[in-house]
Every structure is written in C-alpha cells, then in structure tokens.
Structure 1
Amino acid sequence: MGAEYGRSDSSAGRLSRWLRRRPKDAPGADEGRLGQLLATAAAKLPLAPAAYPVGYRCSCERVGCPTPARHPVSFAWQTQSTTDRAQIERWALGQPEANFITATGMVHDVLDVPLEAGREALERLLAEGVDVGPVAESGGVGDQARMLFFTATRGTPEDEDEWWPCELDCHPETMDEHPGLRWHCRGSYVLVPPARLPGEHEVSWVRGPEHALPDPLTLLESLTDACARHGAADPHAVAWPLGR
C-alpha cells in the first residue's frame, strides 16, 4: 500500500499518496485505512489499537498525556497484538478513529531516527543498492518528526548474554531521552500507517509493508552516520542512546 521511494511516477505511489490526502470522512476513506492495516498484518506485523488525537489532546483523556495519540489503549497491548484479519477488521470498523501500534521484538524491530537524518540515510542506502524494507515517516515538530525503518528482529537467542545490552533498547517511556537513533525491540512499539497525530500530522508509508524485512545490521552504519551528522548540526541531539 505504500509508495516506493524514488519511484513517485508509479501507479502504486500515486494511489498511496491519493489515499493519504483524502479527508477522513471522504467516501472510501475507511476502506483505504482498513486496507493498509490488513496489508501490514499480512506482512506478519502484529497490531493493536492505539489512542488518537482529539484536537491537540489525546483520546485517552489523561491530563498531560506525554505521548498524545501515540500509545496503545490497553495495558495488555503486548499479548493483545495480533495479525488475525478478522480481529483487526473488528477493531478498525468498531473504532474508526483509532490509530494502531505494532509490537516490536516479536517479528520485527524498528530503527527510529530523526526525519532529516532518515531521509539522508535512505537515499544513501538505495543508491548503494541495499535492500531496505518498509519505511514510514512520522510527522511532528522538532525531534517528534521521525523516520521509521522496519527490520527483522534479532529474535530471542538461546543465550541471553548474546542479546543487545539494555542501553541499545528503546522503550516508549524513555523516547524523549533519546532524540537520536532509537532501537525498538523487546517491550516497545511504534505507530503504523495510517495514523493521525495532533496538529494535523500523520504517520504514512514511504515504502510499504510489502517489502521484505532486512537484517538491521545492514542499515545500522548508514543510520548512525546520518544521525551523527544530524547531531553535529543540532547540539541538543545525540546520535545514539547513551543509557537509561
């Protein structure tokens, strides 16, 4: 369902952009949303319902919600997440305003970088012929504007000592501490397109879920290099999570 980066003249790309431009209440808008969610589930990315914007506030009605419209609605989101088509249809049709998250560390991880750094890295990776998987843009102001690179997960090794140290994991509650590269794996999640954010921002596909998930290590060097350059330009940013 997503547009192919660098091939904006393709019919698939035109259709994807047209769907994203349509008003929420336009005829067929719900079908377009459901189709994108089902395509994501068909790619084996587990989904669960998330909050949505109500003006500049969050639908959860929590006073001072730290991540408005960007979090799941249930504390059981990890066990609730599913790729079951019937369940996702029930959620999407029964909650027409809801965003959706995908739980990471099961089938896939997400490398999450500042938007400009991500665009630079994506251009470099494609120019080098690297197999890049699904990529999404998440709108926002400042460090909230991000690019999400979906990759295969490293799984759960038999020897837990082989797992990445905790400093490399990004958990939702620590994201503001890590404006540079964030690695979403066990216990984390990201929004999936199509999603609406406060301030009329959105989450949309740049490269859709039909692309195979790559090994994260094939993208890491380009992403960290781009984040380092982004961090040098912004003295308040860091290229890599330094710790909890």
Structure 2
Amino acid sequence: MGDGIGRYRGTGRDTESRTSWESRLPQWLRRRPREDAGEASGHRLPLLLATAAAGLPIAPAAYPSGYSCSCERIGCPTPARHPVSFAWQTQSTTDRDTIERWASDEPEANFITATGMVHDVLDVPLEAGRAALERLLAEGIDVGPVAESGEERMLFFTATRGTPEDEDEWWPCELDCHPETMDEHPGLRWHSRGSYVLVPPARLPDGLTVDWARGPEHPLPDPLTLLEVLADACATYVDQADEHDHDRHSVAWPQHR
C-alpha cells in the first residue's frame, strides 16, 4: 500500500532510516508497472477499506467504458473521474458495510473522496509533485498520503482547513466548485469543501490508473507545512514549460532582420 517511508529527525536511528530511504527513493521515483485487471480487482476492496479506516469518506464514481465513460453522457468532460450521484457529498462515508456493498454491487466502479470534511488535497503536476516530495522527505517534513493520478497529477492528502468554527470565515472557491476544470489550472490546486478527487485504486480511460505512492496509513499533515515547497516546485515546473514553449515557437516562427 504505502512505501513505508517514515519520518526522519536526524537521530542515530532516524539517520539509519534516512539512509535506507535514500537507497529506495530512485526505485520509488521510477514508475511502477501497472497491474492487470485481475490483480487490481483483488487489491481494490482492501485498499478502499484502508482509505475509509484512515477516516477519508468515499463514494462510488464512474469508470472507463471502452474509450468513454460509464455514465454514458455524450461528451462527458471528465470520463471515469466523477461521482455517480449528485448527492456524493452526503453519500460519502467511511462505513465498512456500505463500502463493501458498493464494491460488490459495482465491481468496476472507481471511488472518489469528498474533501473539506476530514481532509483536503493539494493537487499538483506530476513532475512538480515528485520534485517536491523528494525535497520534503529530504528535509524531514511530515508528508501524509500521496497518490499519482495517471501521468499528469500528484495528490497530497492533508488535514482540512475547510471547516472553521466560524462558518462565515469559509467560502468555496471556483476550483472547489468545479473539480473538473483541472486542465485550466496547470499549477497547484487546493481541493477543500465542495470538491473531490479519485482515490486509489482507480482506472482511467487511457489505460492509466490512480495509485498510492504513500498509503492512507500515513497521518494527515497540516497543508501549510507542505504549501511553500509545493508552490516552489509548481513555479519551477511552469517556468520550464514556458521556456519549452518559447523555444518551440522560436523555431517555428523565426524572427528575420
């Protein structure tokens, strides 16, 4: 489930752990081979129950149907990435019996977790996320569960800051209201109340999957402890992408004197 990476404080025992982690990190950073359908289905329920046991509420979601979505909506903008019920926020649960029933009734279904009740998710480009995770672990900063979503995004699960005692201090942002607008926001996105993300194991229409890099057994950190490193990594990612685009266009559209 998780990669077993713990917390490092610089003491003798922790230094030994750090050395072990450093030796494993390059292997972890290499993309893991995808499981076939049989292996994935065998691991699905235990992983879902582990997610619920960690306190993260989940609800059924759509799944791939050929190259499209099981919802059969023509032109579905987020195939296999959205909940199946409009009541997903109230439907989301950690109840074991309910989850077992859902998994049995819909053996192909993906699952989402509703954010902003127990946890938030900091959602970043995969390349930026990997760089940030390496830095966070090297600096001994507590990191909670982390998932890779296909080949595009990395999800950092944190404690929520979306349920203040004074409800007047909270309001949903545009990103939270419309989780499907991910492509419009190449940098960091903060999923809080009114939002959701897929939880592993999940399948995407292009044959990719959503998998844990660090499992849900890791305690949820305060998001602010990760925010600076994630923001720096995203800024670097965007700058590099801009440079690539600039070079590409310079070749395509040379400036003649």
- TM interval, shorter chain, is 0.7 to 0.9
Question: TM-score normalized by structure 2?
Answer: 0.80
Letter in 1 for 2:36: P
Of residues 103, 113, 116 in structure 1, which corresponds to 2:124? Answer: 113
User: Measured at CA, do residues 170 and 122 of structure 1 come closer, stay the same or move farther in structure 2, by a change above 3 Å?
Assistant: farther
User: How far, CA to CA, are the matches of 2:65 and 2:22 in structure 1?
Assistant: 34
Aligned equivalent of 1:85, options 96, 112, 116: 96
Structure 1 partner of 2:250: none
Match of 1:44 in 2: 55
Residue in structure 2 matching 1:205, options 208, 212, 220: 212
Select the structure of larger CA radius of gyration: 2
Provide the residue aligned with 1:123 in structure 2: 134
Alpha-carbon distance in structure 2 between the residues aligned to 1:35 and 1:138: 19
Any stretches of 5+ residues in structure 1 without a counterpart?
Answer: 237-244
Aligned to 2:106: 95
Shift of 1:7: 7.6
Q: How many residues align?
A: 224
Tell me by how many angstroms 1:156 deviates: 1.9
**TM-score (norm. length: structure 1):** 0.84
Shift of 1:176: 2.6
**Residue 185 (structure 1) aligned with residue 198 (structure 2):** no
Tell me the CA shift for residue 170 of structure 1. Answer: 6.3
Measured against aligned partners, the alpha-carbon deviations of 1:16-44 in whole angstroms (never above 9, x if no partner) come to x6xx7442135xx5331100000000001
Deviates more, 1:168-177 or 1:217-226: 168-177
Query: Aligned AA for 1:105?
Result: G
Deviation at 1:234, TM superposition (A): 1.5
What's the counterpart of residue 248 of structure 2? none
- Relative to structure 1, the CA distance from residue 196 to residue 7 in structure 2 (aligned partners, 3 Å threshold; closer, same or farther) is farther
Alignment-mate amino acid for residue 206 of structure 1: A
Structure 1 stretch 122-131 or stretch 147-156: which is displaced more? 147-156
SS in 2 for 1:120: helix
Give the alignment's Cα RMSD to 1 decimal.
Answer: 2.4
| Aligned position for 2:4 | 4
Tell me, yes or no, if the aligned pair for 1:2 and 1:206 is still in contact at 8 Å: yes
Q: 1:23 to 1:173 in 2, by over 3 A?
A: closer
Structure 2 Cα separation of the partners of residues 69 and 8 of structure 1: 36
For residues 120-199 of structure 1, the aligned pairs below 5 Å read 120-140=131-151, 145-163=152-170, 166=173, 169=176, 171-199=178-206
Inter-partner Cα distance in structure 2 for 1:125 and 1:168: 25
Cα offset for 1:158? 2.9
> Structure 1 residue 25 and structure 2 residue 32: aligned?
no
> Counterparts of 2:216 and 2:101 in 1: how far apart (Å)?
21
User: Once the two structures are superposed, what CA deviation does each residue of 1:180-212 show, in whole Å capped at 9, x if it has no partner?
Assistant: 100000000000000000111000000000000
Amino acid at match of 1:190: V
